[in-house]
Amino acid sequence: MTVLLEVRGVRKRFGSQVVVDSVDLEVSAGEAVGLIGSNGAGKSTLFSIIAGTISADDGSIFLEGRKLPNRADERARRGIARTFQIVQLFGGLSVLDHLLVALQAHNGEAGVFRDLRGNGATTVPEMTLCMETLELCGIAKLAHAQTTMLSLGQRRTVELARALVARPKLLLTDEPSSGLDESESLRLAHILNSVRRSTGVAVVIVEHDLATVAAVAERVVALDAGRVIANGTFDEVIANVDVRRSWLGEASA
Ligand SMILES: Nc1ncnc2c1ncn2[C@@H]1O[C@H](COP(=O)(O)OP(=O)(O)OP(=O)(O)O)[C@@H](O)[C@H]1O
Ligand SMILES: [Mg+2]
């Protein structure tokens, strides 16, 4: 399989604490990787480093064999998208508006500038892409709903759709099941799987909920105190002695 993302020797320190420690990680095109680890293991920080919102102290990151530029917006344009641990949607905007704004920003055409140039209207291809994305995520019927009226599961799906609207090559999704019950989590996992099948996007999912990890990830990587301590199938990683000790809290695994 073609290597999509290559993280090489990435390190990050906050004050005296090394939060990401010499991390190597490869993700193939279209692959689904689960990233697990206890609270504070460095998972979200690693996502921020890959997305370019936090700069690493050391190491390099490549997408499709090319070193990534430092700026987050350029990385997004190269095909890296992300959803956040805490849902970040705007009140007063419809579901469809969230996708349109994201798509136009991605294309370097934020609405206000288009309006100033007198060509603020949404184009048919933009509208089509947004509606297709909502359909892919199973929420087309919510297109005109205000996001404040939606359940947490629906809002998380809107976040996912927004991240996918510009058809990224790599989706980093940070605890998409957080706060959801078992059936909502499973539904989100199904959406992720069907989106991956139909668009070919590679997915890295950070998740504490093991059922979601098992449902989505083809391979699992475990972090502990910023270091990769295991890499393999879900069963291999969950059975790993270091993982059981560090993450599952077993005193003598
Ligand atoms: N901006 C920051 N400044 C200082 N320390 C930070 C900053 N961001 C994160 N940290 C610290 O870095 C460590 C790793 O944090 P991170 O959020 O990456 O962990 P995580 O694996 O995502 O944890 P969780 O499962 O709780 O989300 C933690 O000790 C955290 O307190
Ligand atoms: Mg986190």
- Tokens in use for 83? 């959803």
pLDDT on residue 247:
74
Among protein residues, the one whose CA lies closest to atom 6 of ligand 1: 14
Centroid of ligand 1 to alpha carbon of 112 (angstroms): 35
Residue nearest to atom 5 of ligand 1 (CA): 14
Whether the model clears a pTM of 0.75, i.e. scores above it, the answer is yes
- Tell me which residue of 54, 238, 87, 75 sits closest to 154, measured CA to CA: 87
Ligand at minimal distance from the CA of 45 is 1
Task: Report the nearest-CA residue for atom 17 of ligand 1.
Answer: 44
Helix (H, G, I), strand (E, B) or coil at 243: helix
> Cα angle at 204 between 179 and 28, to 5 degrees?
165
DSSP-assigned states of every residue in 44-60:
HHHHHHHHTSS--SEEE
Boundaries of every domain in the chain: 3-246
Residue 188 CB coordination number (10 Å): 26
Please, which residues bridge with residue 40 across strands? none
From the alpha carbon of 223, which atom of ligand 1 is closest?
A: 21
pLDDT for 253: 44
CATH level 3 topology of 3-246: Rossmann fold (3.40.50)
CA atoms within a 13 Å half-sphere pointing along the CA-CB vector of 36: 28
* Spans in the chain with pLDDT lower than 50: 252-253
Residue in the structure block whose two tokens are 């070193």: 67
Question: Residue of the nearest CA to atom 25 in ligand 1?
Answer: 39
**Cβ of 37 less than 6 Å from ligand 1:** yes
pLDDT of residue 123: 87
Helix locations, 35-181, DSSP H: 43-51, 72-78, 95-106, 111-116, 124-136, 152-164
**CB of 44 closer than 6 angstroms to any ligand 1 atom:** yes
Q: Report residue 28: phi and psi, to 5°.
A: -80, 160
Bridging pattern class, strands 58-63 and 3-14: antiparallel
The reported pLDDT for the residue numbered 110 is: 57
Q: What is the pLDDT, as a whole number, of residue 85?
A: 87
